[in-house]
Amino acid sequence: MTTVLPRLRAETITANSLKNITSSLDSLSPNQQLLPLTAIVNPRDRLEIGGCDVVELVQRYGSPLYILDEVSLRTACQQYRDAFTKHYQGRSQVLYASKAWSCLAVCAIVGAEGLGIDVVSAGEILTALRAEVAPSLIYFHGNNKSVDELSYALESGCTIVVDNWHELKTLDHLTKEQSLSTSFIEPRIMLRLTPGIECHTHEYIQTGHIDSKFGFDPNEIEAVFAYVSESSLNCVGIHAHIGSQIFELQPHQDIGGVMVQWFKLAGEKYSLKFSELNIGGGLGIRYVESDDPPSIEDWVKTVCAGVTDAFVTAGLGLPKLLCEPGRSLVGSTCVTAYTIGGSKTVPDIRTYITVDGGMSDNPRPITYQSKYRAVVANRMSAPLSQTVTIAGKHCESGDILIKDIQLPETNAGDILVVFGTGAYNYSMASNYNRLPKPAAIIVEGGESSLIIKRETREDLLRQDCLPERLRK
């Protein structure tokens, strides 16, 4: 099957560059690709994903439109799952960090591939349960879980990753209260610890006192272990997370050596029988040509080697090893299609091309100054003859999706497709300027299916209330 080149210069994303290389999809790591694995240019010179013409998809479903490639998502799940089986001698479990994109279809697919779900709210718990993910495979995170959310998680049978003292004591109290009920399910908890590893700079903060709102600080660990050992809580292990969109492997090699110290301390001094170690996620994806993330398998291999070496050296048996990829599972599997409107040229400065979406469907550029890549999907072979800035339609000067990108000459009605929008796009979408949220579809084998309906103008008013005294 024809697919996108693993590396493409900005001036070479054309029909020819997509047709030149034939590879097995299974050999490609989705997080290293700019486009979904099934992307090709069809004989009509249009971008095609999952066997579906993107222009025809927009004609059918409207725009902006999130287009999720099922093959890419399943491949990423399988590569994570199979890499742990290959490189780790103990038990393992991959959890999808659903904050990247929590919806029934995505959760159902990752669940069907044998993955669990990492959730951070009652809403994400409900979504995972409705997608028929087993409660035993749902792990509940968050730094300020409400009493209602904790109660819901306890009733559902989820594992709760405890983040701080307030939560620990609240959970202990709730557990004692609920233990009197005939339907009581003994809760499983993990403790989130701050590991003292700073990514991106390769600087390691020896004291571990990283400025973060998440997790217990290293100087609290012994007090936490002592409290848990005397409580009614069933603590099964510890958790750490060192960052996001990470391209370096060394920090993930080293995390096992940090965590094993606490694993051993808990057992030897406090008689806590930990069996699980969760090392979080953080593997990056390729948003633009210059990005060069490790493959899924290389990341897993590195993590497994680091944990194995650390636990063998410490004389401990291998724990059940968990990880929580989000972006690297779903980010590169989805694109967003927009319809181009007008243009504006500021002489000697810039040409703006406007689209029918923007910061409400992708807040990452205005929030994080994130960079993206795009093509004109209905004329893939057209020469890249102009440098333009893609502007959203919102009433904000900063609503810029992509600054200074090379594109062909464009016309109103052309379809612009932005790559790598599966993570933190729909999940962070808003109704700013009272815009309805876009639809999302899934494509596979030439078929497309709606997975999220497009909101209507009436939907925007659904939760509004107008007091009687304000009515005329």
Q: What are residue 96's DSSP bridge partners?
A: 117
Contact 340, 388 (CB under 8 A): no
* Residue 425 burial (C-beta neighbours within 10 Å; 0-12, 13-18, 19+): buried
Count CB neighbours of 309 within 10 A.
14
Residue 10 half-sphere exposure, CB side, CA atoms within 13 Å?
16
395 classed as catalytic: yes
| Region for 93 from its dihedrals, namely left if φ exceeds 0, alpha if ψ lies in -120 to 50, beta otherwise | beta
Contact 389, 403 (CB under 8 A): yes
Residues 125-136, buried b or exposed e (16+ Cβ, 10 A)? Answer: bebbbebebebe
Tokens of 74: 């399943």
What number of H helices and E strands is found in the chain? 13, 20
Q: Which residue of the set 52, 235, 304, 395 is catalytic?
A: 395
Q: Which 8-state DSSP code applies to residue 352?
A: E
- Using CA of residue 38, residue 41, residue 43, residue 44, what is the dihedral sign? positive
Q: What are residue 118's DSSP bridge partners?
A: 97, 139
Q: Is 137 helix (H, G, I), strand (E, B) or coil?
A: helix
Nearest in space to 141 (alpha carbons), one of 119, 115, 164, 125 = 119
The residue type of 245 is Q
* Residue 395 burial (C-beta neighbours within 10 Å; 0-12, 13-18, 19+): exposed
Contact 141, 120 (CB under 8 A): yes
Q: Which 8-state DSSP code applies to residue 293?
A: P
Count CB neighbours of 430 within 10 A.
12
Q: Which residue is listed with tokens 């669990």? A: 116
Return phi, psi of residue 445, to 5°: 60, 35
Please state, in angstroms and rounded to a whole number, the distance separating the CA atoms of residues 343 and 412.
Answer: 8
Nearest in space to 208 (alpha carbons), one of 242, 235, 239 = 242
Contact 468, 457 (CB under 8 A): no
Which residues are catalytically annotated? 395
